Structure 1
């Protein structure tokens, strides 16, 4: 017994029975070039194989996977930044126009990196807004 899946592809998934045993197993689909069993239609077999491949492709490339990958990379970068800051605790005098502050070298470089990232994000956001307006104007 199968029920519709909530994934984008709409492919059915096996339903578990009341006793905890799985429902019927999906039929085996031959690989490309494999002989088609007697009584099976070649187009049906090829269509089923392509549907299963698309289902696997939908599962492999998800937003959750991309988010998880981003969280892991972000955690690694944060650990490296922490190590850098701890190793560079010597206080440094920083002057900017009429402003003067004494900060550890690692902290001051971190602040500079954050400021640079914010400037890049602002410029990128303005460019995306500009392109969105141009696209909306072109489609009207």
Structure 2
């Protein structure tokens, strides 16, 4: 049950006025709605939930960086250097995300072209 439909704990429970002993279908009356409609999600509520999720993820990233400050040696394509472990892992994560996004975008574009040709 959603927050909007909860009642106070000490409030008296009053039965709805539309309850009757006779079957409303057989007597020709319209059947009332039995359950309240769910509140649909809005763009604002979606953005609000997204902001909270991003904030929690960023807090986790900050904790990760603070716990992994030890410097490590890195070699990549002939380049050598030292950087904190957390920074190296975050760079690897971002590079992996970029490769995934590029390949996913190429596949989506391919499927859209195919769908457009079939129309």
Return the TM-score normalized by structure 1.
0.59
Return the TM-score normalized by structure 2.
0.68
Which residue of structure 1 lines up, in the alignment, with residue 83 of structure 2?
103
Distance 1:78 1:92 in 2: 23
Q: Which runs of 5+ in 2 are unaligned?
A: 1-15
Name which of 34, 46, 70 aligns with 1:66. Answer: 46
Which stretches of structure 1, 4 residues or more, deviate above 4 A after TM superposition?
Answer: none
Distance 1:96 1:41 in 2: 77
How far does residue 64 in structure 1 lie from its aligned partner after superposition? 2.7
Q: Between Structure 1 and Structure 2, how many residues are aligned?
A: 98
Distance 1:77 1:99 in 2: 31
Task: State the SS of the aligned residue for 2:47.
Answer: helix
Which residue of structure 2 lines up, in the alignment, with residue 121 of structure 1?
101
Q: Which has the higher helix share?
A: 1
Q: Which runs of 5+ in 1 are unaligned?
A: 1-27
Distance 1:137 1:73 in 2: 39
Q: CA RMSD in A?
A: 2.5
How far does residue 29 in structure 1 lie from its aligned partner after superposition? 8.8
